[in-house]
Structure 1
């Protein structure tokens, strides 16, 4: 007998707000299936305002509230059983971020968990990442967002260490990343990977997913440093308008893809990684898995 429930995850990022709906299918004696049912992405670039002015404008706050109202209705229509909303650096750093979260709660009934970089890395680590991380290999996991980049090292199938840096695509676009932050990230990556002879990279985030999709590679096959480097040269040679018309990119992707690729390439160079795997895993996926793991833990407590 199958047990089927739908879970919802809201990711309030610096570049966009997303609602992921996943159908969770449980069958006794078999591995639980997580089927992505719907993904809605609204490109409200909260980080551009926060990183420049320190707060979210009334216009963006109203747009975010409208999006959250829409997400509430979508979750109701999908008959969502469990959901969670998480906000990252833009809301966390905005002087009016907590106030906006309280307004959203009052008007939609959706509580927003404002998380830090370490929380984000831990949530993402609860996903299917473990299926990619093999016992005999070493990986540097790089998750690039609009406001920050989360780095995690895995060796012999286990977590080693992680660190969050305020190096994000929106910050870079606005010229808000000091050279010393780049140097700190470079030093950290080199120090934490120097003892390993061979290392591969795992990349997550909307930009690397876009690059992977356009590469035509089969799922499970990595992108090489050579490919990513050539792609970086290509997008740098094109104007913002040309990336939209010639590479068929969305306008809110056509600008941030350049600094994002720079971050991935830098991480590969500093760690010595020759390949990057792109499993299409992000914060939303981690939220779903966290909700499921909490449910199973609660069931075990009841039955113990």
Structure 2
């Protein structure tokens, strides 16, 4: 069975092509298109240019899905679309460019899918884990164990949303977000903090100095608080051209990575987290597994 999962985020539209065969999943490397749906008009609506860039992406995704032989195509939208008054209208147009089933996720749903996708079989050890997903428009936390997520939060802070605040000065994002985080009630033996999403995977790729992104190398990479601070200090005063020379930093994230990393340090300080382990797998893999179950039951 061949699936296409499309994540319609605030910074980018991402595609995961997956095959389920002989009880084994085969995931192709994720592909992304930077569309910046999170940079909305002053009234909060999605901008025409961001929607047009997204429609172009969906046209290309349809072509790739057809070539792959996809039987089921599913899209999910997150904070940019769920907060925009024209988000529903935008999603209705999406299917004209790439026919798919789709949903607009709540912040809680986004947190839970991310947790399930990142941890999967790791939960069999019985320990409790927390995932942090710093996206373009929002940041999701989820805490749970093999029995599921029992605490989750979605905060309206993201790398696109706080970019201009970050540009104001080195402490601005930290000051704005340091009191944001709610107490986390861990109900058993704790394992690790797991980081997912574009900010975290990009920081891992930078730390690893990857010429080309490789999810297998990013998977499980340990990022310490000191390492993240070092990346922020290194990038903050670089010009865009200088940032484009940094290994592991894609052009579509060059201007927002510092803001995203500052949200991460704020989180790590609030919960006294010395390090996070990065997962290349996230809500897209969880969505693929759910689609397969739904499809199989038809």
Same fold, TM-score > 0.5, yes or no: yes
- Cα deviations across residues 219-267 of structure 1 (Å, max 9, x unaligned)? 4342222222222222224333321124463222111111111111221
- Alpha-carbon offset, residue 126 of structure 1: 3.0
Matched ranges for 1:151-166 at <5 A: 151-154=141-144, 158-166=148-156
Q: Distance in 1 between matches of 2:263 and 2:109?
A: 21
| Correspondence for 1:54 among 44, 52, 68 | 44
Instruction: Provide TM-score, normalisation by structure 1.
Output: 0.82
Q: Distance in 1 between matches of 2:245 and 2:174?
A: 33
Q: Distance in 2 between matches of 1:271 and 1:171?
A: 22
- Cα deviations across residues 57-111 of structure 1 (Å, max 9, x unaligned)? 3332222222212212221221111221111111112222111212223454334
Unaligned residue ranges in structure 1 (runs of 5+): 27-31, 300-304
- Alpha-carbon offset, residue 180 of structure 1: 9.5
- Alpha-carbon offset, residue 208 of structure 1: 1.3
CA contact (8 A) 2:13 2:33 kept: yes
From the CA coordinates, give the structure whose radius of gyration is larger: 1
| Partner of residue 34, structure 2 | 43
| Correspondence for 2:193 among 201, 217, 228 | 201
- Cα deviations across residues 204-229 of structure 1 (Å, max 9, x unaligned)? 11121122123237743422222222
Q: How many equivalent residue pairs?
A: 285
Instruction: Say if 1:106 and 1:114 are closer, same or farther in 2 by CA, change over 3 A.
Output: same
| Partner of residue 211, structure 2 | none
| Partner of residue 264, structure 2 | 264
- Alpha-carbon offset, residue 118 of structure 1: 1.0
Deviates more, 1:106-115 or 1:252-261: 106-115
Matched ranges for 1:1-304 at <5 A: 5-26=1-22, 32-50=23-41, 52-133=42-123, 135=125, 137-154=127-144, 158-175=148-165, 182=177, 185-186=180-181, 188=182, 191-193=183-185, 200-216=192-208, 219-247=219-247, 249-295=249-295, 298=297
Is the partner of 1:169 in helix, strand or coil?
Answer: coil
Is the partner of 1:272 in helix, strand or coil?
Answer: coil
Q: Distance in 2 between matches of 1:197 and 1:185?
A: 25
Decide which structure has greater helix share. 1
Instruction: Say if 1:114 and 1:221 are closer, same or farther in 2 by CA, change over 3 A.
Output: closer
Is the partner of 1:200 in helix, strand or coil?
Answer: strand
Q: Distance in 2 between matches of 1:95 and 1:136?
A: 42
CA RMSD of aligned residues (A): 2.9
Q: Distance in 2 between matches of 1:253 and 1:101?
A: 24
